[in-house]
Amino acid sequence: MLPSVEELVDRARVVALPLATRFRGIDVREALLIEGPQGWTEFSPFVEYDDAEAAAWLAAAIDFGWTPHLGAGDVRVNATLPAVPPERVAAVLDRFPGVRTVKVKVAERGQTRSDDVARVREVRRRMGAEGRIRIDANGGWNVDEAEHALRELSPFDLEYAEQPCATVPELAELRERIADLAIPIAADESVRKAADPLAVAREGAADLLIVKAQPLGGVTAARRIVAAAGLPAVVSSALDTSVGIAMGAHLAASLPDPGLDHGLGTAALLSADVTDDPLLPRLGRVEVRRPTVSATLLDRHAASPERTAWWLDRLRRCRALLDGPDGFGTDSDGFPRSAS
């Protein structure tokens, strides 16, 4: 049984956390946190997402807060570099001590391919020949643009290219066209925003999957998607607070090791968090544990009354969707399940 809407609302707190570096066009990350019986959990779909999409994030929050997910140890993480100019690369990378891998955002709206090349060149210079560099275009290129960009970036030795194009057929075509470059293609939005998260694997459109716990309906649902896809999976954050990072870290620790670092270092991009002991990258790793949430920090970073009301309304609407006919509901084990 899923917790009732009253139970969720009673246990919910809304925060607005400033970012250290502008990312995805935002300077403040809003999140709704809920204290579940198994610990704190996070519901933080981006504000522009509609309720149908956000409902999966709520299923994830319930799965993590109401189900014992026992994890321990740590996972290796990458630095996440927003689409900053070369002179700002060092300051961002300094926030990720000890990482051997950098994920570089490319194809940012309003920028050009030479901006991407300059950023990747600077990362390679700083990381040295043994550093691992992956790029993430967030679907920003068409197939031709992606092919040109990857041919130009290929001398910098890319570990993989994440969501270079927006659609599954484009990814499949690109993958054939650049077979000579031997740059693996990773699918992110084509998994987490797709009606059918398994289409990528079925169509041979990617070499690996990027999975995020919240949009895929939670740790349990994401594990099932990865198993059904049969592809290696890298777990990535949704720019969550340390509570959401913990959800991702539990997922990462429970999957087969892809031999690739996970995108779970992003608490380093926040300039405030909800715990005094955040899940920050140390020696290139993030611990797998549930953080202790601080009442003081929840108060200090509380969202405005208007934004709090907006989030609580969204929580109520999404909770109602989980009971709907093609909502998420629970499976025979009592777990929230994804629509797939």
Ligand X SMILES: O=C(O)CCC(=O)c1ccccc1C(=O)O
Which residues would be at the binding site for ligand X (CB under 6 A)? Answer: 24, 78, 80, 103, 136, 138, 188, 236-239, 263, 266
Token representation of residue 40: 């704190």
Cα gap 249→246, rounded to integer Å: 5
Catalytic pick among 69, 76, 105, 124:
105
Please choose, from the candidates 231, 154, 153, the residue with its C-alpha nearest in 3D space to the C-alpha of residue 187: 231
| 103 belongs to the catalytic site | no
Report the chain's C-alpha Rg in angstroms: 19
Task: Report in angstroms the alpha-carbon separations of 201 from 105, 166, 172, 230.
Answer: 24, 15, 10, 8
- From the list Mg ion, ligand X, none, partner contacted by residue 24 (C-beta under 5 to 8 A by kind): ligand X
Assess 159 for contact with Mg ion (CB under 5 A): no
CB of 293 to Mg ion, least distance (A): 27
Cα gap 246→256, rounded to integer Å: 18
- Closest to ligand X by CB, 41 vs 237, is 237
CB of 157 to Mg ion, least distance (A): 20
Strands (E), the chain: 12-23, 26-36, 39-43, 74-76, 79-81, 101-105, 132-136, 158-162, 185-187, 208-211, 233-235, 285-287
Cα gap 182→162, rounded to integer Å: 14
203 labeled binding residue: no
- From the list Mg ion, ligand X, none, partner contacted by residue 103 (C-beta under 5 to 8 A by kind): ligand X
CB of 157 to ligand X, least distance (A): 18
- Closest to Mg ion by CB, 34 vs 239, is 239
287 labeled binding residue: no
- Closest to Mg ion by CB, 233 vs 303, is 233
- Closest to Mg ion by CB, 177 vs 193, is 193
CB of 107 to Mg ion, least distance (A): 11
| 105 belongs to the catalytic site | yes
- From the list ligand X, Mg ion, none, partner contacted by residue 238 (C-beta under 5 to 8 A by kind): ligand X
Beta bridge partners of 27: none
Task: Give just the sign of the alpha carbon dihedral 278, 69, 238, 8.
Answer: negative
Residue nearest to Mg ion as judged by C-beta position? 188
Assess 188 for contact with Mg ion (CB under 5 A): yes
Residue 114 phi, psi dihedral angles, 5° rounding: -70, -30
Assess 273 for contact with Mg ion (CB under 5 A): no
CB of 99 to ligand X, least distance (A): 10
Eight-state DSSP code of residue 215: T
CB of 258 to Mg ion, least distance (A): 15
- Closest to ligand X by CB, 8 vs 252, is 252
Cα gap 46→57, rounded to integer Å: 10
Cα 236 → chain centroid: 4
Catalytic pick among 13, 29, 134, 212:
212
Which range binds Mg ion by CB under 5 A, 89-97, 124-132, 156-164, 285-293? 156-164
- Compute how many other C-beta atoms are within 10 angstroms of the C-beta atom of residue 306: 8
- Closest to ligand X by CB, 45 vs 327, is 45
Please choose, from the candidates 117, 102, 109, the residue with its C-alpha nearest in 3D space to the C-alpha of residue 141: 109
Token representation of residue 47: 């504000």
188 labeled binding residue: yes
Residue among 136, 159, 273, 287 that touches Mg ion (CB under 5 A): 136
- From the list Mg ion, ligand X, none, partner contacted by residue 263 (C-beta under 5 to 8 A by kind): ligand X
Site residues (vs Mg ion, CB under 5 A): 136, 162, 188
Binding-site annotation: residue ranges: 136, 162, 188
Give catalytic residue positions: 105, 212
Binding-site annotation: residue ranges for Mg(2+): 136, 162, 188
